[in-house]
Structure 1
């Protein structure tokens, strides 16, 4: 295994853990009384699930770390959108974040256009 290559067990474990956390967040969110906080929990779940999906298709450690960094940036932008009630930003992120994650299998198949690297 090359130094820059991501170990498959770490890749799989991170993806599964992110999905589990996202599902738990989606289950807990309806019980939150403060509406913007509940929406933020749901949106954070979207970012984590998207990162978990994308991580299954990255091959290098750098791409792995960039995928996690983009998830953190998405969570920060979701916080701004939810608590400041910037609706256009929220709708854009709710479409764009999963779309970028769905491009990862295509990126791996084409092995040309790099999304996270």
Structure 2
């Protein structure tokens, strides 16, 4: 299966449902974390999971989905850095940026707007 082919709808739907399920579970168990930093990290990873899940149905190719998942993994690393080392600027920037990019993905798809056409 080449990475640049069109994203199948069932795969996009699966990523959507899994992203939301992971996010809801992480948000639910974050209060059980042993300290506040770990709880905040769980909430932040939930934000990333929901953001990737929300954007998945609006992506056009499997390559786009792989890029979104890779950015999600980078976001997890940056959230770990920001949450556990108390770098509030990175944490709050990512808390705003991840959902914004997910919403922009949907908006660009609906408007058929291309950045790199």
Could you tell me the TM-score, scaled by structure 1's length?
A: 0.91
Equivalent residue, structure 2, for 1:82: 83
What is the Cα deviation at residue 113 of structure 1?
A: 2.5
Q: Unaligned regions of 5+ residues in structure 2, if any? A: none
Root-mean-square deviation (CA, aligned residues, Å) is 1.6
Distance 2:48 2:42 in 1: 10
Distance 2:81 2:103 in 1: 24
SS at match of 2:28: helix
Equivalent residue, structure 2, for 1:92: 93
Instruction: Determine if the alignment matches structure 1 residue 101 to structure 2 residue 102.
Output: yes
Equivalent residue, structure 2, for 1:31: 32
| Cα deviation code 1:7-57 (max 9, x no counterpart) | 111110111011101100000001112111111000000000000001011
Distance 1:54 1:99 in 2: 10
SS at match of 2:99: helix
- Number of residue pairs the alignment of both structures matches: 114
Distance 2:8 2:115 in 1: 20
Equivalent residue, structure 1, for 2:6: 5
Could you tell me the TM-score, scaled by structure 2's length?
A: 0.91
Instruction: Determine if the alignment matches structure 1 residue 18 to structure 2 residue 22.
Output: no
Distance 1:114 1:17 in 2: 28
1:63-82 pair list within 5 angstroms: 63-82=64-83
Distance 2:95 2:114 in 1: 23
What is the Cα deviation at residue 6 of structure 1?
A: 1.1
Distance 1:84 1:45 in 2: 19
